[in-house]
Amino acid sequence: MTRLNLCADESRAAGEDPIGTAPHWAEVTVLELDVPMWARLRDVNAWTPEQQAVFAALREKVEASGAGFGLLMSAPATPGRPLRVRHYTLGGTPHGGLGGYVRRDYASDLPQSDWARGLHDTLLDPSALTGGDWTAVPAPDGPDLHVCTHGTVDAACGRYGVPVFQALGGAGVRAWRTGHFGGHRFAATAVELPSGLLWAHLTPELAVQVARREVTPAQVAGHLRGHAGLPPLAQLLDRHLLVQHGWDWLNRARRATVETHPDGGHTVTLTASGPHGPETYRAPVLPAAPLLLPGSSHAPARAPVAQWTLGPVTTLPGTRA
């Protein structure tokens, strides 16, 4: 039997640019769940009627608002403890930075099997967090790196994610062993909060350098999947501006629109807060030659993977760059 290459190895070998592959999230809920619970949450056929109803309501919310949400499952520091949740909303506070997410933490005495309550009360009815089963607890400062180590979903995440998770913890960076959140061909892949950046093809050394900002954005641009606070194609322009302005760019509130043209091209307009008022930038995003890559380390099937090119960036009148 022929042994398959890991999908992450194929992606790196092909020179895939991961930018624009970050999901677009208006908010993120992190459920602290023991690793065996990850499979139970992912087993749709085993969901209770209550759990099914929560996801049906979440689908309706996304369809009505167009705003997606992130769901991360991270192993707690103390296995078996009651359910805790971390809820991130896009917006500016001293903790989240103007361009990042606001973090709020809640503890409970609920068993981890009540994970659907965590989703319902953070994403559907936040008023339920002000009393009853939940207690607000202070959220710590600094970044959290959520590293996918979910090897049962894809072997690449087990092979590359675990050493990255261990290296971050050993370096004193707050890191979480996290279940599958998409993009295993980018292993080791991580979600960085509150900045909202998603990373690709991290090594243990690089992950620590990124977390500590010991490298410039230009040095790690090829490892950036994008900022989850923006639509995927707008992430190309955001990366360009991050490289141009440096890490301080992440402290700016950003919003963007994407216009699609009949020829398959797009125009991205991005407005960011600045020291002298809003700054607006515009650039075309054009399709590049796609890559033929496997979607999994466990199956040989390959499919086209889109690649994009950012055109000339224009600073609109009235902007002070």
116-164, pLDDT tens digit by residue?
999 999 999 999 999 789 999 999 999 999 999 998 888 999 999 999 9
What pLDDT is attached to residue 96? Answer: 42
Q: Residue 274: pLDDT above 80?
A: yes
- Looking at the chain, the whole-number percentage of residues with pLDDT higher than 70 is 96
What pLDDT is attached to residue 25? Answer: 95
What pLDDT is attached to residue 99? Answer: 82
Can you tell me which residue has the tokens 């009949």? 262
Q: Residue 271: pLDDT above 70?
A: yes
Q: Residue 92: pLDDT above 60?
A: no
Least confident of 53-57, 63-67, 243-247, 265-269: 63-67
At residue 319 the predicted structure's pLDDT band, cuts being 50, 70 and 90, is low
At residue 290 the predicted structure's pLDDT band, cuts being 50, 70 and 90, is very high
What pLDDT is attached to residue 98? Answer: 67
Say how many Å lie between the first and final Cα of the chain, rounded: 58
Q: What angle do CA 53, 56, 61 make, to 5 degrees?
A: 125
At residue 32 the predicted structure's pLDDT band, cuts being 50, 70 and 90, is very high
At residue 54 the predicted structure's pLDDT band, cuts being 50, 70 and 90, is very high
Least confident of 91-100, 174-183, 207-216: 91-100
What pLDDT is attached to residue 95? Answer: 42
Closest CA to 165 of 176, 150, 153, 154: 176
Can you tell me which residue has the tokens 């960011």? 272
Q: Residue 41: pLDDT above 50?
A: yes
What pLDDT is attached to residue 1? Answer: 46
Q: Residue 93: pLDDT above 60?
A: no
Q: Residue 287: pLDDT above 90?
A: yes
Quick: pLDDT tens for 181-218: 989 999 999 999 999 999 999 999 999 999 999 999 99
Closest CA to 113 of 30, 38, 28: 38
What pLDDT is attached to residue 132? Answer: 87
Burial of 279 (0-12, 13-18, 19+ CB in 10 A): buried
Q: Parallel, antiparallel, or unpaired: how do β-strands 101-108 and 84-90 relate? A: antiparallel
